[in-house]
Structure 1
Amino acid sequence: MANDFETTIDFIKSQFKTDEFIPLHVPHFGGNEKKYLLETIDSTFVSSVGAFVDRFEVMMQDITTAKKGIAVVNGTAGLQVALRLAGVMSDDEVLTQGLTFVATANAIAYNNAHPVFLDVDIDTMGLSPIAVSNFLDENAEMRNNVCYNKKTNRKIAACMPMHTFGFPVHLDELLSVCDKWNITVVEDAAESLGSYYKGKHTGTLGKLGAFSFNGNKVVTSGGGGAIITNDEEIGTKAKYLTTTAKKPHPYEFYHDELGYNYRMPNLNAALACAQLEQLNSLIENKRTLATEYASFFASKGINFRTELENTKANYWLMCIELENKAERDLFLKQSNENNVMSRPIWQLMHRLPMYNHCQRDEQKNALFLEERIVNIPSSARM
């Protein structure tokens, strides 16, 4: 297998046409980024009020077809506020996947709620509707049309799937299970801008969705995020809460509930707008790379992860599934020593000290993937 890995490393280098270090994902600034940033500086509106913040929110509505888009400082803040708007309160529980980036769990904890870590599906690497259904059948009961965990006596207030690396979860099945138990779905769509499930953009099928525009995403604002929803009342409340819950007034400062200073600065929004203008071309470029990878890895007998039927993935971070942990570790070592960045998928949340007490299921599929999935360079080659 070592020789195969050498060939793989050479192939990846050939795709990026360099012997220099190849990162996992770098931003591409090939549009109006500098122009819009200079406009923002010239306007003096560089903080959380400005034309580009408004433009960004409209662009997110247009791209996702959501009725409301709300700019926030990062994806984690978006998730935190989205959960609050979904009705998650202190000491409630939120069902989510154990195989995820830590921000998913942190957003739950920031609301003083408790994550419950459930298994993922092998094909999507995201929250499994079967795992959710099995957990609820065994642990939940309805009290006055509200779902409670019989073992902890806490309300199960929401379910938050995460679309891993931009691959949509099985949303129809998950929504059906949650509807049966009257549980609100909030989509962690941080990694899935430009991904679709049965023709609908991720983030629009749950009550709310949240996206990240971190420096390593498909498009970036340096730091930034967005909440989307088709509930206009919730969208208005989201904008209000993220603007310190300040009542509009020409000069008085009055805040009538606990809010957050979570608005995206106009400087970041300027960068985001220029990036969003290039979203389609960036994704098409990445999909071309994914096609090249798929053909190469098929010839090597290595499973390169591709989108499922009835979905369109943005291929944010592309990944391969190796035979076992030993093969994974060998590939990680050889690729990184040869200037090709690769990384393993995340450690399961229950392995982290702040979450090792949380309720969870067997995590069979998550454990399988944790030992085998490796991300490889995925940048657009513009």
Structure 2
Amino acid sequence: MREQDVRYRPAGGVDEPVLLSPPDVGPLEESYLLRALRSGWVAPVGPDVDAFEREVAERVGTAHAVALCSGTAGLHLALVALGVRPGDAVLVPTLTFVATANAVVYTGAEPVFVDCEPDTGNLDPELLDRTLRDLRRSGRRIGAVLPVDMFGSCADYGRILPICAAAGAPVVEDAAEALGAAREGRAAGSFGRAGVLSFNGNKIITTSGGGMLVSDDGDLVARCRYLSTQARQPVPHYEHTDTGYNYRLSNLLAALGRAQLRRLDGMLTRRRAHRERYAKLFAGVAGVRLLADADAAANCWLTSIVVDQETAGWRAADLGRHLAAHRIETRRVWKPLHLQPVFAGSRAALSGAAERLFADGLTLPSGSGMSDHQAARVAEAIDRFLEGR
């Protein structure tokens, strides 16, 4: 039996719900976990943590990595290590999960939201440039820029990095969704002063919960590692001269991550096959396109379509309701952060692109654990919907 056919899933029949991106685990993960458990290394550090860090750094192409309890923790530590302080402006895409902006708030800095490119959903470099210039003219200190690799497609760093360098703004790459993706021969996570990956339960690989900060900057990584262990001084007793955080990944979860990393290439193949299937399904449908960047080697974490209602004659929400009736999960594209109540009144540089994607976008089941039977169910349900239009 092929490796991708051997998975552990919640109990259910052949017509169980098709989820957006559930964990994809099986016997290999079980064997790694049992080995780690039997080794006695159950504490937050251990040999699997060290090995996981080395293996992820090698995969991403960076010199260093530190394993953490979440991607959010990685973003927070990177900002702290870079000296971001209260009152700083930190530029964040408005089209992203709230964690990106929350990490900025943890430091006391102010997130300044920047709109996206309409074709890719990634940070708009031209709007970023104008916003940085405006902030500098007004005398604001710029703490950092946090581009996000949306849905597993790297942002346009060939344009973003020179803009940020000219403004003296360090870049922290939020590659939470992008492990295995690349752009112009460089792996996601390797751009900027630091990159941050997520291993949440719905990501490309999972450690249940977890993340990784990767960087070529050894001093920055050492600072983050120190802060992530409650800033404990290297003395026999407990001594602390800085405020630290309880952010380290456990050895057991690192063991799970190591097994997942061994299977990463197969998982990417499955997700990319799902993207190709959706591309063929909608190829002849007027007014429907995939949200994707043709210049990036995406990992296809999630596949989203964008529907022009006037041309298609139906809305993305109509398809979403139809699929829900067939027990198939979908989700709207991220609600822009400048529309979130928690960030009401925050500064934002807007073109309207993110709001249009939120209104017209729909994310479809994309998990590597989706069986051939489930994929066929999704395709059949979409076909029926389209036939009815």
TM-score norm. by structure 1 comes to 0.89
Q: Distance in 2 between matches of 1:86 and 1:29?
A: 36
Q: What is the aligned partner in structure 2 of residue 138 from structure 1?
A: 134
Q: Which consecutive residues of structure 1, in runs of 5 or more, have no partner in the other structure?
A: 1-16, 142-149
Q: What is the aligned partner in structure 1 of residue 7 from structure 2?
A: none
Please point out which of 247, 250, 256 is paired with 1:262. 247
Deviations 1:79-131, CA, capped at 9 Å, x for gaps:
11111122211221101111110101101101111000011112221111111
- Alpha carbons 1:31, 1:278 under 8 Å: kept: no
Q: What is the aligned partner in structure 2 of residue 314 from structure 1?
A: 299
Q: Distance in 1 between matches of 2:24 and 2:92?
A: 32
| 2:198 paired with 1:212 | yes
Q: Distance in 2 between matches of 1:136 and 1:375?
A: 31
| 2:35 paired with 1:68 | no
SS in 2 for 1:358: coil
| 2:22 paired with 1:34 | no
Please point out which of 290, 300, 306 is paired with 2:285. 300
Please point out which of 269, 281, 287 is paired with 2:272. 287
- Alpha carbons 1:207, 1:229 under 8 Å: kept: yes
SS in 2 for 1:254: coil
SS in 1 for 2:86: coil
Q: Please state how far the C-alpha of 1:34 moved relative to its aligned partner.
A: 0.9
Identity %: 34
- Alpha carbons 2:120, 2:292 under 8 Å: kept: no
Q: Please state how far the C-alpha of 1:62 moved relative to its aligned partner.
A: 0.8
Q: Distance in 1 between matches of 2:187 and 2:271?
A: 18
SS in 1 for 2:173: strand
* C-alpha spacing 1:328/1:106, structure 2 compared with 1 (3 Å): same
Q: What is the aligned partner in structure 1 of residue 20 from structure 2?
A: 24
- Alpha carbons 2:193, 2:215 under 8 Å: kept: yes
- Alpha carbons 1:303, 1:321 under 8 Å: kept: yes
- Alpha carbons 1:92, 1:156 under 8 Å: kept: yes
Q: Distance in 1 between matches of 2:350 and 2:217?
A: 35
Q: What is the aligned partner in structure 1 of residue 207 from structure 2?
A: 221
| 2:327 paired with 1:339 | yes
Please point out which of 318, 334, 342 is paired with 1:330. 318
- Alpha carbons 1:119, 1:365 under 8 Å: kept: yes
Q: What is the aligned partner in structure 1 of residue 261 from structure 2?
A: 276
Please point out which of 361, 366, 383 is paired with 1:373. 361
Deviations 1:236-276, CA, capped at 9 Å, x for gaps:
11111111111223x31112211111000111111101000
Q: Distance in 2 between matches of 1:324 and 1:257?
A: 55
Q: Distance in 2 between matches of 1:53 and 1:136?
A: 38
| 2:241 paired with 1:253 | no
Which stretch shows the higher mean deviation, 166-175 or 81-90? 81-90
SS in 1 for 2:91: strand
Q: Distance in 1 between matches of 2:308 and 2:326?
A: 21
SS in 2 for 1:343: coil
- Alpha carbons 1:66, 1:228 under 8 Å: kept: yes
Q: Distance in 2 between matches of 1:76 and 1:126?
A: 19
Q: Distance in 2 between matches of 1:124 and 1:305?
A: 6
2:338 alignment partner AA: H
Q: What is the aligned partner in structure 2 of residue 128 from structure 1?
A: 124
Q: Please state how far the C-alpha of 1:137 moved relative to its aligned partner.
A: 3.1
SS in 1 for 2:341: coil
2:48 alignment partner AA: F
Q: Please state how far the C-alpha of 1:26 moved relative to its aligned partner.
A: 1.5
Which stretch shows the higher mean deviation, 223-232 or 35-44? 35-44
- Alpha carbons 2:317, 2:362 under 8 Å: kept: no
- Alpha carbons 1:21, 1:341 under 8 Å: kept: yes
- Alpha carbons 1:350, 1:356 under 8 Å: kept: yes
Q: Distance in 2 between matches of 1:44 and 1:351?
A: 48
SS in 1 for 2:20: coil
Q: Please state how far the C-alpha of 1:328 moved relative to its aligned partner.
A: 1.8
Q: What is the aligned partner in structure 1 of residue 10 from structure 2?
A: none
List structure 1 segments (4+ residues) > 3 angstroms apart after TM superposition: none
Deviations 1:144-196, CA, capped at 9 Å, x for gaps:
xxxxxx1xx53111100111100111111011111111111111110000010
1:85 alignment partner AA: A
- Alpha carbons 1:86, 1:208 under 8 Å: kept: no
Q: Please state how far the C-alpha of 1:31 moved relative to its aligned partner.
A: 5.0
Deviations 1:277-329, CA, capped at 9 Å, x for gaps:
111111012112211221121122321234422x2100001111111496022
Q: What is the aligned partner in structure 2 of residue 187 from structure 1?
A: 173
* C-alpha spacing 1:295/1:318, structure 2 compared with 1 (3 Å): same
* C-alpha spacing 1:296/1:60, structure 2 compared with 1 (3 Å): same
- Alpha carbons 2:114, 2:128 under 8 Å: kept: yes
2:234 alignment partner AA: P
Q: Please state how far the C-alpha of 1:46 moved relative to its aligned partner.
A: 1.4
Q: Distance in 1 between matches of 2:294 and 2:192?
A: 20
Q: Distance in 2 between matches of 1:328 and 1:215?
A: 26
Q: Which consecutive residues of structure 2, in runs of 5 or more, have no partner in the other structure?
A: 1-12, 372-389
Q: What is the aligned partner in structure 1 of residue 43 from structure 2?
A: 47
TM-score norm. by structure 2 comes to 0.87
| 2:113 paired with 1:117 | yes
Q: What is the aligned partner in structure 1 of residue 94 from structure 2?
A: 98
Please point out which of 89, 99, 109 is paired with 2:85. 89
Corresponding pairs, count: 354
Q: What is the aligned partner in structure 1 of residue 384 from structure 2?
A: none
- Alpha carbons 2:335, 2:355 under 8 Å: kept: no
SS in 2 for 1:210: strand
Please point out which of 185, 202, 208 is paired with 1:199. 185
